Amino acid sequence: MCCGERCQVMCSHWRLWIKPLVFILYGGIILGIVPYLIYTLILNGIKGYKIAWLIGGIFVLMAIPITLWEIVQHLINYTKPKLQKHIIRILWMVPVYALNAWLVLGNPTWAPYLDAARECYEAYVIYNFMMFLLNFLDDEMDLDATMETKPTTHHFFPLCCLKPWRMGREFIHRCKHGILQYTVFHLMTTFIAFVCGQAGVYEEGKLSPTNAFVYLFVVNNFSQFVAMYCLVLFYKAMKTELDPMSPLAKFLCIKAVVFFSFFQGVAIMFLTKADFMHELFGITNEAGERKLSSVLQNFLICIEMFIAAVVHHYAFSYKPYVDEEYETGNCCHTFLLIWDISDVRSDIREHVYVVSEGMKRRLTSRGGGWPGGASAVGGTSSGDENTRLIAPHAHSGTRASHRYMSTSESDHDIVIEQGEGTEPEDIKAI
């Protein structure tokens, strides 16, 4: 066999060797090029902040291609729009975080604007993860009926003294809106922080009663705690039904990126005020503390986003959605549908309505249930993530109501063919 034929055969079987090659290249960069670059930069007398920017850039450039590959594969195999729409939005978290951290490392003056955009997307990711769980369950069963048959889910410490939420529609809505409030509050506090920063009364990391950072920090921290608590409580109640889609790995990915990065920043902020940090980095004033805190936080995020990209590749894999018999639509058209956020606007309007109605009921001492459609009897299904996602006929039961599915104004692009008294047909994107 001549050299040309060998190259042709090798190229035709690229799927067999491309992944090992990528692992070797990435391993060589991390174990060889990065340490050598650090050593060379130190010998040339380049300052530590510049080294952090260069090293962080290497990890960012390695992280983004992994995530983009996963996003493209989801677009190619867009067989479950109601689920993959939220997955793709979650996957974009890695490029958003990584580029934000790297740009702030190189240009600290951009921090107020870039951090505001990142924090808005952070809240958006939490919303999408909850909607992903709800859509998955609502597509498989009548969520109201299933929840009503479950034993009461008691609160965790330190809220174990609270009265348990009534199982069924009320429990689902409380969890959903407990998470959605973080999206609303985070958007509000981000806007307030930006305005206060322009007015000169907001300095991140400065603990002073005249600094708006202190008050917004408390509000964000409390709101974040409520969101995480509701997410964990919902997972506890629906653990059995969620098991086929491996929720724990997905849950840990979201928690690690969004919540861990927040508390990591808090820990770094307090550590930079310690005496040993002053001696180690030569800090002499409060401005130096804030600069060091920002550099350490963003440098660590650059590295962590590479790890997050690898973990997301497996946790939010496109493989369970691959269906050779399914006719998917145009990838460019699908990509545009992903950015239609009218479903978010609809849910926020619902959130405001539910909260206002709840307050009215409490003030007037009137009872009443949570908003939602009528219940219908549904069934659960068994199997792994692939069989439940790709085989829409694999589960039995009557047609689902989809009352918890977020609906966008572009839903006319998604055709759901469903016959009377028959099982649901495939969802097709045109």
Task: Note the pLDDT tens digit of each residue in 209-254.
Answer: 888 888 888 888 888 888 888 888 888 888 888 888 888 888 888 8
- The alpha carbon torsion through 305, 307, 308, 314 (nearest 10 deg) reads 150
Q: Which carries the bigger pLDDT value, residue 35 or residue 379?
A: 35
* CA angle (390, 393, 397) in 5-degree steps: 130
Helices marked H in 149-211 — which ranges? Answer: 169-199
pLDDT score at 427:
35
Enclosing domain of residue 313: 19-370+397-429
Residue 93: inside a domain: yes
Cis peptide before 158 (omega within 30 of 0): yes
Q: Which carries the bigger pLDDT value, residue 98 or residue 356?
A: 98
DSSP string, 114-137: HHHHHHHHHHHHHHHHHHHHHHHH
* CA angle (131, 146, 371) in 5-degree steps: 55
Question: Which of 35-49, 90-104, 125-139 ranks highest by mean pLDDT?
Answer: 90-104
pLDDT score at 415:
39
pLDDT digits (tens, 9 = 90+) for 167-213: 888 888 888 888 888 888 888 888 888 888 888 888 776 778 888 88
Sign of torsion over alpha carbons 294, 299, 302, 303:
negative
Question: pLDDT confidence of 380, banded at 50, 70, 90?
Answer: very low
pTM assigned to the model: 0.74
The answer to whether residue 146 scores a pLDDT higher than 60 is: yes
Question: pLDDT confidence of 96, banded at 50, 70, 90?
Answer: very high
pLDDT score at 18:
65
pLDDT digits (tens, 9 = 90+) for 1-48: 566 666 666 666 655 666 677 767 777 777 777 777 777 766 766 676
The total number of structural domains in the chain stands at: 1
pLDDT score at 312:
92
Residue 219: inside a domain: yes
- Give CA separation, 406 vs 8, 251, 346, 387, in Å: 48, 20, 8, 23
Mean pLDDT value across the chain: 75
pLDDT score at 94:
92
pLDDT score at 92:
92
DSSP string, 211-233: -HHHHHHHHHHHHHHHHHHHHHH
Which residues contact residue 18 at a Cβ distance below 8 angstroms, ignoring those fewer than 6 apart? none
What is the rounded distance in angstroms from the CA atom of residue 112 to the CA atom of residue 95?
18
Q: Which carries the bigger pLDDT value, residue 376 or residue 298?
A: 298
The answer to whether residue 341 scores a pLDDT higher than 80 is: no
Residue 7: inside a domain: no
Q: What share of the chain is helix, strand, coil (3-state, %, to 5)?
A: 70, 0, 30
| C-beta of residue 426 within 8 angstroms of C-beta of residue 324 | no
Question: pLDDT confidence of 364, banded at 50, 70, 90?
Answer: confident
Lowest mean pLDDT among 50-59, 61-70, 279-288, 372-381: 372-381
Return the residue matching tokens 């506890």. 236
pLDDT score at 210:
86
Return the residue matching tokens 């009364």. 201
Residue 389: inside a domain: no
Q: Which helix (H) or strand (E) is 38 found in, with range?
A: helix 34-43
Residue 6: inside a domain: no
What is the rounded distance in angstroms from the CA atom of residue 92 to the CA atom of residue 125?
9
- Give CA separation, 127 vs 326, 345, 351, in Å: 29, 12, 12
Residue 274: inside a domain: yes
The answer to whether residue 366 scores a pLDDT higher than 60 is: no
Rg over CA atoms, the chain: 24
